[in-house]
Amino acid sequence: MSGDAGKESRVIKTEKLRKQFGDLVAVSGLNLEIEKGQLYGLIGPNGSGKTTVIKMLVGLLRPTSGKAQVLGESVPVKESIAKMGYMPQEMAIYSDLTVHENIELFGQLYSMGSESLEKRENELLKMVDLSGRRDSLVAHLSGGMKHRVSLACALIHDPEVVFLDEPTVGVDPELRAGFWEYFANLKASGKTIVLTTHYMDEAVRCDTVGMMRTGDLIGEGSPKDLMRTASAPDLESAFLNFARRPAI
Amino acid sequence: MRLDRVLAIARKNLRGLKHDKRTVGFLVLMPLLMITIFGYTFGGDVKNLSVYVVNLDDGSVSYSITDDLRTRETLDVNVIYSQSTPLIDPVAYSIDKVKDAEICAAIIFGQNFTRDVRSATANLKNGTLVPPGSFSVYIDGTNPNIVTAVMNDLQISIQKILTSADFGIRSPIVVSPILVYGQGAEFIDFFAPGVMGLAAMMVTFMLSIISFVHERSGFTLDRLLSTPVTEGEIVAGYALAFGFVALVQSVVILLAAIGLFGITVQGNILLVLLMIFIFGIGSQGLGFLLSSVARTEFQAVQFLPLILFPSILLSGVFWPLEAVPLILRPISYFIPLTYAVEGLRSVMIRGWGLDGIWLQLSVLVAFAVVMLLLSTWALKRRK
């Protein structure tokens, strides 16, 4: 996968990526390029295809047509999967296991050695402020705590690219602020983050925003550029403006 | 396939069980309850059947028979006398009791019973045929097992009286059964291997179908599949965990059957456990496979009777395969439990080794392999 300098800094690239479920076109011919170290936000209403894009990128769904590359490898390839972290929209952790057992499971699935796993687990528990609840059953935790466990599971193997699908849905404002602090720290440490959200006030914090509507990318750029192009005071108005234009 | 990831999935399933004390209790108690209840219900002979005897006989033979019946526990004998107060007709009274299903049978000895028996015996020795001494048994035929038990017990007593010094009649034919296998075996010895197979199937099937539906509906499956773990490793991890659960259960059943009912295992106990482990893997694989067509736990549970009933009725758990009607028997040979039960019985009662059960073991291995491959395929095609 050698290439020019631009290609090397490009972590994610899709070409005419399409996914169809029966007659329903969930994603139609998506062209996406995400650079290393970016915080990229896919925004759009429910059913716009954001989650389907993420699922194709992490290898959970096979594209109907088109190409998707993550870290230079066509997905789904298990080699590149090992360098990705994924936090699904649903918390998707085991409520019948403890916090430690959940994190340990995911570390083991990435074949981490017990020493490095323990070290990383302690770091993450500190980061998500759950060190005191290490041995609590997940079923006994609050919704916000479960979200934090889910994030820790996605980051246990220190991935290069992190996919976060609606990470702040159902999360209280204080925790949301905390989450965005984590994301900023991750970005500062050189990780690439792709997240989906339908909170426009969150999306403005992204480096680049991709606006999706009914499977199409209708606009892409930095939040400032998008607002300027649409002559809109905020991202929500910009989105509505772009929604009236043809897809890019 | 990486062993560390397979073990991680297996450990996850067992840890989940460990935290769920109620399910662990169920997993241990259910087979214990099964072997205990079935063992006591089916294992013993029929006992204490309530029977009335009306004795109008002038002689002593009827008394000898009645006394002999009382030496065993099969019948609970009550003699009805005509001198009871208020005065009753003992024959009509006893028959009414049978009709009201309050007693199982009424045995009526007529006035000339002893005289007829003695006359028939004397004439038999002379070579003359005269009508034999007879008595009537009014019996509730609702349950054929009870009819057989009453009639067998009467036959034993009659045989005893006729061979006694009083009559001295010896049968000219004696059958000597020589048990090739199962010396001293009781019904529970036949039954325990069946319960072990059945419990292994029920529990592993149920655990895997419900766990996996839960895994999908809770989106943890998506999460697993977004890691380097492969579909085959997930399937193998499940098989390892629930195969182990089947093993533990079998040990519980074996210990209960040995402790409570004194069964003996003639063959190699490791071979018994190996068969259970392989059969457990196959059964959980079936659950895993069927979980792909169930969307909720409720839908998953609906598969249980569909799989269990034919298996219970047609696989020889409760009665020999030979008792299954010919028209249904081909189905029996398509049910893996049939081979598990037959293989387990061959090791536990006949004491056979690998050379004796290679067919059953091969079928169980094939069942497990096919289920694991199909489960992996079903997981892969969901993309």
In this complex, the residue of B9, B224, B228 whose CB is nearest that of residue A82 is B228
Q: What is the ipTM of this complex?
A: 0.88
Mutate to test the interface with B, among A19, A99, A103, A108 (most CBs of B within 10 A): A108
Residue B131: the pLDDT is 81
- DSSP structure class, residue B81: P
Residue matched to tokens 């065993």: B72
Residue B295: the pLDDT is 80
pLDDT tens, residue by residue, B242-300: 999 999 988 988 898 888 888 889 999 999 999 999 999 999 999 999 988 888 888 88
Q: Which of A247, A74, A38 is nearest to A160 (CA)?
A: A38
Counting other chains too, the contacts that A142-150 makes at CB distance below 8 Å and 24 or more residues apart are A143/A170, A143/A171, A144/A171, A144/A172, A144/A175, A146/A91, A146/A93, A146/A95, A147/A91, A147/A171, A147/A175, A147/A179, A148/A175, A149/A91, A149/A93, A149/A99, A149/A102, A149/A103, A150/A87, A150/A88, A150/A91, A150/A92, A150/A93
Q: Cβ–Cβ of A111/B223 closer than 8 Å?
A: no
Q: Does domain B49-181 have CATH number 3.40.1710.10?
A: yes
Residue A5: the pLDDT is 43
In this complex, the residue of B4, B20, B227 whose CB is nearest that of residue A81 is B227
Q: Cβ–Cβ of B5/A111 closer than 8 Å?
A: yes
Within 10 angstroms of residue B278's Cβ, the number of other Cβ atoms is 25
Residue B54 CB-half CA count within 13 A: 24
End-to-end C-alpha distance for chain A, whole angstroms = 27
* Chain A residue whose CA is closest to B16: A96
Looking at the complex, does the CB of residue A122 fall below 8 Å from at least one CB of chain B? no
Each domain of chain B, given as residue ranges in start order, spans: 49-181, 186-382
Residues near B355 by Cβ (< 8 Å), separated by ≥ 6?
A: none
pLDDT tens, residue by residue, B30-85: 888 888 887 777 766 678 999 999 999 988 999 999 999 999 999 999 998 766 56
In this complex, the residue of A58, A95, A98 whose CB is nearest that of residue B226 is A58
Looking at the complex, does the CB of residue A98 fall below 8 Å from at least one CB of chain B? yes
Instruction: Count Cβ–Cβ pairs < 8 Å, chain A vs chain B.
Output: 73
Residue A77: the pLDDT is 73
Inter-CA distances, A165 with A90, B246, B272, Å:
8, 38, 49
Residue B44: the pLDDT is 62
Residue A8: the pLDDT is 59
Please give, rounded to a whole number of angstroms, the shortest distance from the CA of B246 to a CA of chain A. Answer: 21
Looking at the complex, does the CB of residue A180 fall below 8 Å from at least one CB of chain B? no
Residues near B371 by Cβ (< 8 Å), separated by ≥ 6?
A: B281, B282, B283, B284, B285, B286, B288, B289
- Are A217 and A30 in contact by the 8 Å Cβ rule? The answer is yes
Average of pLDDT values for B145-161?
93
Q: Which residues of B touch A153 (CB under 8 A)?
A: 223
pLDDT tens, residue by residue, B76-133: 999 987 665 666 789 999 999 999 999 999 999 999 999 999 998 888 778 777 788 8
* Chain B residue whose CA is closest to A162: B226
pLDDT tens, residue by residue, B192-211: 899 889 989 999 999 999 99
Q: What is the mean pLDDT of chain B?
A: 90
Q: Cβ–Cβ of B222/A55 closer than 8 Å?
A: yes
Please give, rounded to a whole number of angstroms, the shortest distance from the CA of B308 to a CA of chain A. Answer: 28
Please give, rounded to a whole number of angstroms, the shortest distance from the CA of A105 to a CA of chain B. Answer: 6
What is the DSSP code string of A84-124? EEEE-SS----TTSBHHHHHHHHHHHTT--HHHHHHHHHHH
In this complex, the residue of B2, B7, B220 whose CB is nearest that of residue A94 is B220
Give 10-residue mean pLDDT values along chain A (248 residues).
53 94 91 94 91 92 92 80 90 94 96 95 91 95 91 94 89 84 90 91 92 91 93 90 76
Q: Which residues of A touch B8 (CB under 8 A)?
A: 105, 108-109
